[in-house]
């Protein structure tokens, strides 16, 4: 067990980052969500945590957390997220609305099954952003134009795809298409607000739309390379939590159900 886990000797309480807004996207039942929220509350204060709820509207009122917003966007609730071009437009707009009345300088977008393993997670992300001189850092960030990427080939079949980015691009090279994992992207306020100010022109899968748009608006994106092995797109890694912590993971994804033995980060 590491010094960062609950079983360690009690140390000074770590001050929580006040300038990062964590936007947590979940569709869990209120009973399951409670534990997820509790976990995030150990790394961020309640006033810097925004729950973007994509579950059933009947459950929304049962969630005992003040800072919550119901995402009604049907394009969030798709059976085949990739083929039907899942959109986080509703989530992005809800977060942007929240930012209008808050001074948060950074924003962290995470899904419910992406769990924090370090109490200083948000400080680490801020530091990495600074080190990389980036405006956005994300997991599995790749350039995919002209490649065999199935997502790219599927979107390129839509004639307007490249045209749209070429039209709005501030860069010389207008054909660049980026891809990232949806969960775990960390944004500077300015970059996020610039992306939120654009209206999605037609359905584009969120994992392509957000990074490519940010890139063409002139922002710098970098990959969280060393953390990527802890943040994969498939599986259930609930049994790997302590091992991942030992190996230096800041977060772990996907963890569909938190095991009873889970120790919240300190």
Partner 1 sequence: MKMLLRSIGLAVVHKIGMKIFDSESGRPLGRVLLIPWGGKVHVVGLERSVRPVFLLQTRLTYWKQDLGFTTHPPPDFPSLERSQKPGTTDSRQ
Cβ atoms of residues 75 and 203 within 8 Å: yes
- Distance, in Å, from the CA atom of 55 to the CA atom of 44, rounded to the nearest integer, reads 23
Q: Quick one: 62 or 190, whose CB is closer to partner 1? A: 190
> Of these, 27, 149, 201, 203, which contacts partner 1 (CB under 8 A)?
149
Least separation in angstroms between CB 214 and partner 1? 10
> Of these, 85, 155, 189, 253, which contacts partner 1 (CB under 8 A)?
189
Q: Quick one: 70 or 165, whose CB is closer to partner 1? A: 165
What is the three-class DSSP state of 25? strand
> Of these, 219, 230, 250, 262, which contacts partner 1 (CB under 8 A)?
219
Least separation in angstroms between CB 21 and partner 1? 14
What is the three-class DSSP state of 53? strand
Nearest to 4 by CA among 194, 181, 184, 251: 251
Helices 206-216 and 160-168: angle between axes, nearest 10 degrees: 30
User: CA 65, 69, 74, 79: dihedral to nearest 10 degrees?
Assistant: -30
170 binds partner 1 (CB under 8 A): yes
> Of these, 218, 235, 248, 259, which contacts partner 1 (CB under 8 A)?
218
Q: Binding residues for partner 1, per CB under 8 A?
A: 105, 130, 133-135, 141-149, 152, 170-171, 176, 178, 188-190, 215, 218-223, 225
């Amino acid at each position: 067990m590491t010094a960062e886990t609950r079983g360690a000797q009690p140390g000074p309480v770590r001050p929580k980052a006040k300038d990062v807004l964590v936007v947590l996207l979940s569709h869990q039942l209120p009973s399951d969500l409670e534990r997820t929220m509790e976990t995030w509350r150990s790394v961020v204060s309640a006033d810097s945590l925004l729950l973007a709820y994509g579950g059933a509207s009947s459950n929304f009122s049962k969630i005992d957390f003040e800072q919550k917003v119901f995402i009604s966007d049907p394009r969030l609730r798709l059976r085949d997220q990739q083929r039907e071009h899942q959109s986080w437009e509703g989530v992005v707009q809800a977060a942007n609305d929240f930012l209008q009345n808050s001074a948060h300088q950074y924003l962290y977008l995470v899904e419910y099954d992406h769990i924090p393993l370090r109490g200083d997670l948000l400080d680490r992300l801020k530091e990495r952003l600074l080190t990389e001189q980036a405006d956005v850092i994300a997991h599995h960030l790749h350039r995919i134009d002209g490649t065999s990427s199935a997502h790219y080939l599927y979107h390129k079949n839509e004639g307007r795809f490249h045209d749209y980015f070429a039209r709005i691009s501030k860069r010389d090279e207008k054909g660049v298409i980026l891809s990232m994992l949806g969960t775990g992207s960390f944004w500077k306020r300015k970059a996020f607000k610039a992306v939120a100010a654009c209206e999605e022109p037609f359905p584009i899968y969120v994992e392509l739309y957000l990074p490519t748009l940010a890139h063409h608006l002139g922002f710098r994106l970098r990959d969280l390379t060393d953390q990527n092995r802890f943040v994969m797109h498939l599986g259930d890694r609930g049994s790997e939590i302590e091992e991942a912590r030992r190996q230096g993971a800041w977060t772990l994804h996907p963890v569909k159900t938190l095991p009873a033995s889970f120790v919240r980060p300190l």
